[in-house]
Amino acid sequence: MQKLVFKQKFLLLSCAGMIIIIGGRVLGFPALPYKPTRCTGSFYSHWSYTAACRDAVPDIGKRELTEVYCMRKTKIICTLGPSTDKEGVLRELIANGMNVARFNFSHGSHEEHLGRLEKLKALREELGKPVAALLDTKGPEIRLKDFKNGVENLVAGQTFTLTTRDVEGTNEICSITYKDLPMDVEPNGTIMLDDGLIKLQIQTVNDTDIVCTVLNNGKIKNKKGVNVPGVHLSMPYMSQRDKDDIIFGIQQGYDFIAASFVRTAQDVYDIRNLLNQYDSNIRIIAKIENREGVNNIDSILAAADAVMVARGDLGVEIDFTELPGIQKTIIDRSFSFGKPIVTATQMLDSMIVNPRPTRAEISDVANAIYDGTSAIMLSGETAAGAYPVEALKTMSAIAERTEQEGFHLRGRTMDSNPGKISVSDATAHAACLTARDVNAAAIVTVSESGTTARLLSKYRPQQPIIACVMREQVQRQLSLSWGITPLMMSLAHSTDELIEMSTALAKENGYLHNGELAVVTAGVPVGVSGTTNMIKIHMVGNCLATGVGVGPENNDVASGKACVCRTMDEVRAKFKPGMVLVVPSTSNEMLSFVRDAAALVVEEPGLNSHAAIAGKALLKPTVVGAAGATSHIRDGLMVAVDCAHGSVQRLQG
């Protein structure tokens, strides 16, 4: 027996077999051994069933049900490095849900990064996963150069000198990468080494040397970071190395640039201008890592495509007690601008050396998701840790469980007034509200650039967002956005073709099934980017008749062979127990047959009609007002009667 977690609806047995509604999904099973059990959670139940059941589910094919119904909406970024270079590790990361692969250009050569990128491209093609590639720039950072022994011990009270001269590092002196640092600092200032693990107080400064007193014991290694809290550095934002790295990223097909140490919107524009020179569509993630970035967050959000709360350097550059509040503020402002937000650094830091996270780390990941982060990131855990795959699985499990909670995204409701917004934004907002109101199985959008899908993601709908796009880079870039499943689709030439192609694609991939409602949004006229202005409620599959559903709970579903009768004599001659009775109207003479039917479909309208009253009294799934049902439904055809949607659907076979 295998267990899966599904959103519970209703279970109904009939002679024709078993129908399960899962989140509005109509699944037809033959009569097979099963054991329904209820878990303690308020939103989910466990259905145990034999492996044979999975093979009996129509429309899903070879896809695992767990993949279809247990989709994690919060995305995960994994940093590549020596640990992911080991045999099979990168494949495992992709297979276990890595959405974006991060390449840290603070370390490594272009040749080293290219080798990893080519491996990523080959594996994502083989596995059919649109994993995006993210180039994280070195940025205007300061680092120590090398020590003679690779590592030195510093003792509280000793003197330690940072110099722009080229010297061999010892426990008394070490060279730094920024030659103008002596001009930017003053005596009595503070310098932090290695993410703040070692604190120095400046004593004297000359043209080349900064003489400091060590304030705490610690080990220091080659190329560790140097932070100067509260000091505006005069160094230019984009160095020649960063320019070379970005051009390399353009040439090799990266999808994102994570811009380190962004201070102002102009820093983002500088990178954008370089990308425009090469006609590149790479998207920019602004990393907030210092006080200036925090102070200028609104203008940075307006300029960038996404932002990242890079808590490592940020927690050194500012008072660490401010960090939780700043994280929440940046996430909140990102919502206001409708931009994806990444929470990063030390999320599962202990898993660099341990196979299990600390309880505090579990809460840290969960709280970022509660706050509404779009994505969470693993750094050293996957790049250099002993348990890279386990770290990803752990983070994914925490995210999936957290997303089930009733207070997930509390306050991030689509009911709140979004203020004055564009037509495209208003259409996305309305699509999310509509999907909720009609209990749609998914929101399907067709988007040239991915903008519509991101607007939908902004409102955090309960339904999955299926984004049908025409370009592979757009598909990969949407892998960063909350709740979006991007699929590749060929170009449609009309609105009707667009709706049919997109919903068929979602159905083919297991995200929609016959009898479900999908809210489709796109732009009219077709093919014109930036014109999202259309919403359609679309029923998936072969809908034979529609009307008004009535039943004991008004949302039952049943299936069976259709028994189409226009007279009472036909009912007596043709009907067998377990069939779906399809008639123009009912009478008292027909009640014994209705009692033995799997469901009732009647052309006569009205909730006070004889059929509606009989269906409720006999606890039969019933659709009334199904105009033309006796003409459109073929006798003996296998059908599903869905009271929730008031529809009669043709089943496979």
Residue 415 maps to a domain: no
Q: What percentage of the chain has pLDDT greater than the value 70?
A: 85
Q: Token pair for residue 62?
A: 């070879």
pLDDT on residue 540: 84
The answer on pLDDT for 48 being more than 90 is no
pLDDT digits (tens, 9 = 90+) for 468-480: 999 999 999 999 9
Asked if residue 146 and residue 124 are part of one domain, the reply reads: no
Indicate if 551 and 621 belong to the same structural domain. yes
User: Given a cut of 80, is residue 62 above it in pLDDT?
Assistant: no
Q: What is the mean pLDDT of residues 442-463?
A: 93
Same domain, 532 and 551: no
Domain finish residue from 177, 194, 227: 227
* Final residue before a domain boundary, out of 177, 201, 227: 227
Residue 416 domain-assigned (yes or no): no
> What SS3 class is residue 502?
helix
Q: What is the predicted pLDDT for the residue at 18?
A: 28
From 121, 143, 333, 561, active-site residue: 143
Rounded Cα gap, residues 420 and 365, in angstroms: 33
Per-residue tokens: 6: 């599904």
9, 25, 72, 102: the active-site residue: 102
Of 25, 124, 287, 436, the catalytic one is 287
Each residue of 210-233: pLDDT tens digit? 999 999 999 999 999 999 998 888
Q: Which two tokens stand for residue 284?
A: 């920019």
Q: Which residue has the higher pLDDT, 172 or 498?
A: 172
Task: Note whether residue 371 is domain-resident.
Answer: yes
93-109 per-position pLDDT tens digit: 999 999 999 999 998 99
Same domain, 148 and 46: no
Give the pLDDT band of residue 4 (cuts 50, 70, 90).
very low
One domain for residues 479 and 441: yes
* Domain total of the chain: 5
- Which pairing describes strands 209-214 and 142-143: parallel, antiparallel, or unpaired? unpaired
Q: What is the mean pLDDT of the chain?
A: 86
What does the alpha-carbon distance between residue 255 and residue 325 come to, in Å, rounded to a whole number? 30
- Whether 209 and 166 share a structural domain: yes
Contact of 261 with 141, CB cutoff 8 Å: yes
281 in Cβ contact with 253 (< 8 Å): no
Asked which of 41-55, 447-461, 585-599, 623-637 is least confident by mean pLDDT, the reply is 41-55
Structure token pair of residue 616: 């409720």
Short-list 377, 227, 222, CA closest to 287: 377
Flag whether pLDDT at 137 surpasses 70.
yes
**311 and 383 together in one domain:** yes
Element (H, E) at 151: strand 151-154
At residue 527, the pLDDT reads 62
* Per-residue confidence band for 413, with pLDDT thresholds at 50, 70 and 90: low
Based on the fold, state whether residues 548 and 642 are members of the same structural domain: yes
For the ranges 35-44, 158-167, 269-278, which has the lowest average pLDDT? Answer: 35-44
Rounded-to-integer distance, Cα 253 and Cα 255, Å: 6
Q: Which helix (H) or strand (E) holds 493?
A: none
Domain identity same for 611 and 555:
yes
Does 35 qualify as catalytic in the annotation? no
19 or 248, which is more confident: 248
Confirm whether 409 is domain-assigned: no
Domain of 171, CATH number, reads: 2.40.33.10
Average pLDDT over residues 319-324: 92
- Examine residue 525 and say whether the peptide bond preceding it is cis (omega within 30 degrees of 0): yes
Whether residues 251 and 330 share a domain: the answer is: yes
Q: Report which listed range, 350-364, 502-516, 615-629, is most confident.
A: 350-364
Contact 368, 377 (CB under 8 A): no
- φ, ψ (nearest 5 deg) of residue 588: -60, -30
For residue 417, being part of any structural domain is answered with no
**Dihedrals φ, ψ of 625, to 5°?**
70, 25
How many degrees, rounded to 5, is the angle at CA 450 between CA 468 and CA 132? 90
**DSSP run (H or E) holding 513:** none
Q: 66 pLDDT exceeds 60?
A: no
Whether 601 maps to a domain, the answer reads yes
Element (H, E) at 45: strand 44-49
d(CA 37, CA 158): 66
Locate 494 and state its tokens: 């009309």
Q: Which two tokens stand for residue 645?
A: 């949607």
Residue that has been written with the tokens 């297979």 in this structure: 95
Catalytic residue flag (residue 102): yes
Domain co-membership, 212 together with 289: no
Question: Is 358 in the active site?
Answer: no
Claim to verify: residue 605 and residue 459 sit in the same structural domain? no
Residue 311, in any domain of the structure: yes
Of 137, 343, 345, 427, which is the active-site residue?
345
In this prediction, residue 50 has a pLDDT band, given cuts at 50, 70 and 90, of very low
Q: Which residues of 272-287 are buried (b: 16+ CB within 10 A; e: fewer)?
A: bebbeeeebebbbbbb
Asked if pLDDT for residue 555 goes beyond 90, the answer is no
Distances (CA, A) of 32 to 28, 57, 379, 513, 597: 11, 12, 46, 21, 21
- Token pair for residue 385? 């840790």
pLDDT (mean) for 353-381: 96
Nearest to 390 by CA among 348, 349, 355: 355
Q: Is residue 413 part of a domain?
A: no
The boundaries of the domain holding residue 84 are: 75-139+236-403
Q: What is the mean pLDDT of residues 103-120?
A: 96
Output 381 or 32, whichever has higher pLDDT.
381
> Is 634 assigned a catalytic role?
no
> Which of residues 51 and 433 earns the better pLDDT score?
433
Q: Average the pLDDT over 249-277 and give the result.
A: 98
pLDDT > 90? residue 31: no
What's the pLDDT at 37? 28
Predicted local confidence at residue 47, as pLDDT: 27
pLDDT at 36 over 60: no
Range in 286-295, 313-322, 562-571 with the lowest mean pLDDT: 313-322
pLDDT of 291 > 60? The answer is yes
Of residues 522 and 601, which shows the higher confidence score? 601
Domain end (from 524, 539, 554): 539
* Rounded CA separation 540/307 (Å): 37
